[in-house]
Amino acid sequence: MAGKKLYRSRSEKMLGGVCGGLAEYLDFDVTLVRVLWVIATLLGGSGGLAYLILWLIVPRQPVA
C-alpha cells in the first residue's frame, strides 16, 4: 500500500465521500462499505460519530 493515501471521494459521494474514499483505498465495493457502516451505526451507535470525525479530518480528493 505504499503511495496510497486516504481521501474523501469526489466521484463516489453521497454525504461527505467518506465511505467512497474508504472503499477506493481498501479496493472494496462502495455499496458494501456503506452497508457495513450503517450496520455499525445501528448496532453500536459509534458509526455516526466515526463518520463525522473522518469527514472532518480526511482531506477531500484533489481535482485531477
Domain that holds residue 24: 18-57
Count of domains in the chain?
A: 1
- In tens, the pLDDT along 7-54 reads 888 888 788 889 999 999 999 999 999 998 888 889 877 888 888 899
22 CB-contact burial (10 Å; exposed 0-12 / middle 13-18 / buried 19+):
buried
Bridge partners for 55 per DSSP: none
Say what the pLDDT of residue 48 is: 83
Say what the pLDDT of residue 50 is: 87
Say what the pLDDT of residue 32 is: 93
Say what the pLDDT of residue 55 is: 92
Q: Which residue has the cell 451505526?
A: 41
Structural domain includes residue 5:
no
Say what the pLDDT of residue 13 is: 79
Structural domain includes residue 10:
no
Neighbours of 30 (CB within 10 A): 18
Structural domain includes residue 3:
no
Say what the pLDDT of residue 46 is: 81
